[in-house]
C-alpha cells in the first residue's frame, strides 16, 4: 500500500529534551515536506526537500532541523523543544516535476505536546 508513515503518532515531552519525529514514504517520491497545524493559524510549512541532500526552509523553520540522507526518509528534529512547538505535525511527499510537487500525500500526523 502506498503511504506516508510517521512515528510516533502521539508524544508528550518536556522542554529542552531533544526529540525526532520520523517520516517515511514508499512511493519513491522526490519531494518531502513537514507542516505544522495550529488552530487559527492553519497549516504552515516548516521545511521541505526537493531530493536527497537538498533541503529548504518553509515559513516557520525556527527551532527545527531536518535531514534527507535517503530518498524515503525525512526526519524532523527538535533539538530543544519549547511549549510553543506544541502542535499537530504532518509529513507529506510528492513526485518532483512541475506542479506535481504540490499534489502531496500526507502522513497521519503526529500530535506533540511540550510541557
Residues that bind another protein (CB under 8 A): 33, 40-45, 48, 50, 56, 58-59, 90, 99, 101-109
Q: Minimal distance in Å, beta carbon 15 to another protein?
A: 27
Q: Minimal distance in Å, beta carbon 110 to another protein?
A: 11
| Shorter beta-carbon distance to another protein: residue 47 or 78 | 47
Q: Minimal distance in Å, beta carbon 18 to another protein?
A: 25
| Shorter beta-carbon distance to another protein: residue 75 or 107 | 107
| Shorter beta-carbon distance to another protein: residue 39 or 115 | 39
Pick from 85, 75, 79: which is nearest to 37 by CA? 85
Q: Give the residue carrying C-alpha cell 540522507.
A: 69
Distance of CA 81 to the CA centre of its chain: 15
| Shorter beta-carbon distance to another protein: residue 16 or 108 | 108
Strands (E), 1-115: 4-7, 10-13, 19-25, 31-38, 42-51, 54-57, 65-66, 76-78, 87-94, 105-106, 110-114
Q: Minimal distance in Å, beta carbon 104 to another protein?
A: 7
Amino acid at each position: 500500500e502506498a503511504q506516508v508513515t510517521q512515528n510516533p503518532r502521539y508524544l508528550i515531552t518536556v522542554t529542552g529534551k531533544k526529540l525526532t519525529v520520523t517520516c517515511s514514504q514508499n512511493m519513491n517520491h522526490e519531494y518531502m515536506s513537514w507542516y505544522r497545524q495550529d488552530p487559527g493559524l492553519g497549516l504552515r510549512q516548516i521545511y521541505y526537500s526537493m531530493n536527497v541532500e537538498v533541503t529548504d526552509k518553509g515559513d516557520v523553520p525556527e527551532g527545527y532541523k531536518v535531514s534527507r540522507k535517503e530518498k524515503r526518509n525525512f526526519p524532523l528534529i527538535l533539538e530543544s523543544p519549547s511549549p510553543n512547538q506544541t502542535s499537530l505535525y504532518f509529513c507529506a511527499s510528492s513526485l518532483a516535476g512541475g506542479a506535481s510537487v504540490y499534489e502531496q500525500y500526507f502522513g497521519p500526523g503526529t500530535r506533540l505536546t511540550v510541557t
